[in-house]
Amino acid sequence: MIKYLKTVDSEWYKHRLAGVMFCIMTAFVLLFARLFYLQVIKGDEFRQLSENNSIRLQNTEAPRGLIFDRKGKLLVDNRPSFDLSIIVKDAKPIAHTIEKLSRYVKVPEKDLMSKIEKNNGVSFYRPVMLKQDIGRDTLGAIEVHKFDLPGVEINVKPRRHYVNKHIAAHLIGYLGEINVNELKSKRYLGYSSGDFIGKFGVEKVYEQFLKGKHGGRQVEVNVTGRVVRILQTVHAQPGHNIFLTIDLELQKKAEALLNGVAGAAVAMEPTTGRILAMASSPSFDQNIFVSGLSHEEWNSLVNNPLRPMENKAVQAEYPPASVYKIVTAIAGLEEGIIDEKTTFYCPGHYRLGDRVFRCWKKGGHGSVKVVKALAESCDVFFYQVGQKVGIDRLAWYAKGCGLGSTTGINLDQESKGLVPTAAWKKKRTGIAWQGGETLSVAIGQSYNLVTPLQMLVLTSAVANGGIIYKPVILQTIKTDEDKVLFKSESQAIGKLPASSSTIEIVKRGLWEVVNTRKGTARSARVAGIEISGKTGTAQVVSSDISETDSEEEREYHLKPHAWFTAYAPSDDPQIAVTVIVEHGEHGSSAAAPIAKELIKKYLSNDKPGNRLKAQRGATDLQGSNIYVR
């Protein structure tokens, strides 16, 4: 202790305590004075205010931003919803008021009372919601009898309205009430329970732009709860408007074409990555989510075997089947295993060890070069290419083509697909890779899984000469006052692992798929437009079939998925389309016609320049039959 006393002694500190004492006294004098002012001088005034309980807070909800297509056609807006609520304290005598109200609203008294009782715990000075979105007639009746209905309030609230029922439901998404976990998360800071937030699709990913800012008023009310004076107002700020890259007309066409089947159709501009249409079937009506759907309704949507709630374009994974031959061809050409002239003979099957691998064409394709192999989708050709490339190199090319990882589209729950390698299988199953499996992989079967969107991005990359674009759905974000806040730019995220000569060869193959006599997608020919593409018929893994299925269902589940991926016009690609029809059997018959119609629709829409260019190519096709579905 001695060391302390060397510097200062305690007497010195005592001196300084006087100063502290002075500060404390001042502070307390201030507090006492304020207390005296509030309670004694202004006491009467405040007592009055408290007895009328007259200062209230009223919230005004911000209208959510609107959503448009690329041409400014309205997809989603808000319409006024008249919500009926009651402030129990003002609604005296309550039984009387409720009785009358029940007559106008045509809801039994019992139901109204139970709503009030359920909210008893909150506070009887706060409005209790009785019925949302009452009709205009009811609204009229209540307005007329307003003075007979003390404490009854009608609030106008903007309510989400999806203009085109079922159209682009998966892409646009829907709203729902914020749940407990979301409230806790950082992403939804500043939200309170009862708020509606985007739960899926564009509504979810662009929530922060769409939501706007709530406003409100501080008001003084009289004894019956009517506003006598507005003290303060904070205006609600509407959310920003979002313009998507999709074309509403094309989207509608895609949905119409998919009607009655399960599957997906996606289209994009191959030179920018802008999505033109994204349809997933079956669809659902987003409007039912706005009013809140019952447990049964929700369950029937979720348990539907055709998975209407899933955006099949980005979430569903399928074996790529023959569409994968694009990858195998690139790998073979780039590895120097084949060149344009390399010929294999296809007798209709290929023997590896003691196993026989069949070509889809029983009689075989005879002598096949790579272009013809793509055009006629010869399995035997690609068995041999795949076998020589080897599984791990093949996987390397597949990954380079964008498979096995998400495309980066700004949508929730995008699937990655699967690119199998020897190491992956060993780790997953403990069993070493079998040579035969490489053959299956080479024609897109086995463990391979892709999403339709991945296929679309790959097709676009081939079409544009090798650049992999990130698919985008957002064109611009504009404020309420039409000021551009954000404009999305096309973003190249990679290059195909292929030289331009390789890509040229593949493109020739894809052209022949549609435009030669033996091509697998002759049916996709359109007068005046040259299309290139690739069909696929994906064998279904038997786990889809359950014991309880009826004979008919079992037959449906055994049918392969139908793929078609294409771009057009062949020499100047404006649109790339990928279509999958679940259990559609053949790519050529089920998927190709859909892609064809979409291409036709898009290119004949408002692009006279393209039509001229395409006319030129059409002369080559003269004389051949045009397939009409």
Partner 1 sequence: MFDRRLITNFDWGLLGLTLLLGALGLIALYSAAMAGISTPQKIIYIKQLVWYCVGLAAMVIAFLFNYKILDRWAHAIYVICITLLICVIFFGKHIGGSKRWLILGPFSIQPSELVKIAVIIILSRYYSMRGSTRGFSLRELFSPLLFTAIPFILVVKQPDLGTAMLIILIAGSMTVFAKIERRSLIYSIASCAISVPLIWFFLKGYQKQRILTFLNPDRDPLGAGYHIIQSKIAIGSGMISGKGFLKGTQNALSFLPEHHTDFIFSVLAEEWGFVGSSVVLLVFFLLIISGLNVALKCREPFGTILSVGITAMISWQVFINIGMAMGIIPVVGIPLPFISYGGSSIVSMMLCIGLLMNVSMRRFMIE
CA-only gyration radius of the chain, Å: 34
Tell me which residues in 103-162 interact with partner 1 (CB under 8 A): 120-123, 125-126
The tokens 């998507």 sit on which residue?
244
Among candidates 497, 393, 401, 386, which has minimal Cα distance to 445? 386
**8 Å CB contact between 564 and 592:** yes
Task: Determine which residue in the list 129, 161, 195, 216 makes contact with partner 1, applying CB under 8 A.
Answer: 216
448 — phi, psi (to 5°)? Answer: -55, 135
* Core vs surface per residue 290-329: b (16+ CB within 10 A) or e: beeeeeeeeeebeeeeebbbbbbbbbbbbbbbbbbbbbbb
Catalytic, 532? Answer: no
Give how far the C-alpha of residue 545 lies from the chain's centroid of Cα atoms, to the nearest Å.
28
Interface with partner 1, residue 55, by CB under 8 A: yes
**93, 194, 232, 431: which one binds partner 1 (CB under 8 A):** 232
- CA torsion, ordered 336, 338, 341, 346, to nearest 10 deg: 170
Smallest separation (angstroms) from partner 1 to the CB of 288: 32
Nearer to partner 1 by Cβ, of 32 and 345: the residue is 32
x/- map, 479-498, partner 1, by CB under 8 A: --------------------
Q: Which of these ranges, 46-54, 273-281, 488-496, 602-610, lies near partner 1 under the rule CB under 8 A? A: 46-54
The torsion region of residue 73 among left (phi > 0), alpha (psi -120 to 50) and beta comes to beta
- Residue closer to partner 1 by CB (options 42, 428) is 42
Selected binder of partner 1 within 95, 156, 227, 234 (CB under 8 A): 234
HSE (side-chain half, CA atoms, 13 Å) at 470:
14
Separation of alpha carbons 495 and 465, rounded Å: 9
From 81, 102, 155, 218, residue interacting with partner 1 (rule: CB under 8 A): 218
What value, to the nearest 5°, has the Cα angle with vertex 597 and ends 249 and 521? Answer: 155
With binding defined as CB under 8 A, does residue 49 bind partner 1?
yes
* Structure tokens given for 321: 């089947």
CB burial class (10 A; 0-12, 13-18, 19+) of residue 386? buried
Least spacing, CB of residue 187 vs partner 1, in Å = 12
- Local structure of 539: helix, strand or coil: coil
Kindly state the smallest distance separating residue 158's Cβ from partner 1, in Å: 18
Strand 55-60 and strand 215-221: the pairing is antiparallel
**Given 85, 280, 283, 322, which residue is catalytic?**
322
Verify binding: residue 16, partner 1, rule CB under 8 A: yes
Residue choice 110, 159, 171, 190 for contact with partner 1 (CB under 8 A): 190
Q: Which of 31/306 has CB closer to partner 1?
A: 31
Among 156, 223, 228, 231, binds partner 1 (CB under 8 A): 231
Output DSSP code: residue 591: I
430 binds partner 1 (CB under 8 A): no
Of the candidate residues 71, 92, 96, 184, the single one contacting partner 1 (CB under 8 A):
184
Task: Tell me whether residue 114 or residue 259 sits nearer to partner 1 (CB atom).
Answer: 114
230 belongs to the binding site for partner 1 (CB under 8 A): no
Q: Name residue, tokens 């990858």.
A: 327
Q: How far is the CB of 102 from partner 1 (least distance, A)?
A: 24
In whole angstroms, what is the distance from residue 280 CA to residue 316 CA? 10
Judged by DSSP in three states, 40 sits in helix
Residue 47 Cβ vs partner 1, minimum distance, rounded to whole Å: 4
Task: Please pick, from the candidates 70, 141, 215, 366, the single residue that binds partner 1 as defined by CB under 8 A.
Answer: 215
- Is residue 43 a contact residue for partner 1 (CB under 8 A)? yes
Q: Are the beta carbons of 237 and 211 closer than 8 angstroms? A: no
> Which residues of the chain form contacts with partner 1 (CB under 8 A)?
1, 3-5, 7-8, 10, 12-14, 16-17, 19-21, 24, 27-28, 30-32, 34-36, 38-40, 42-47, 49-51, 53, 55, 57, 59, 120-123, 125-126, 184, 186, 189-190, 215-216, 218, 231-234
List the catalytic residues: 322
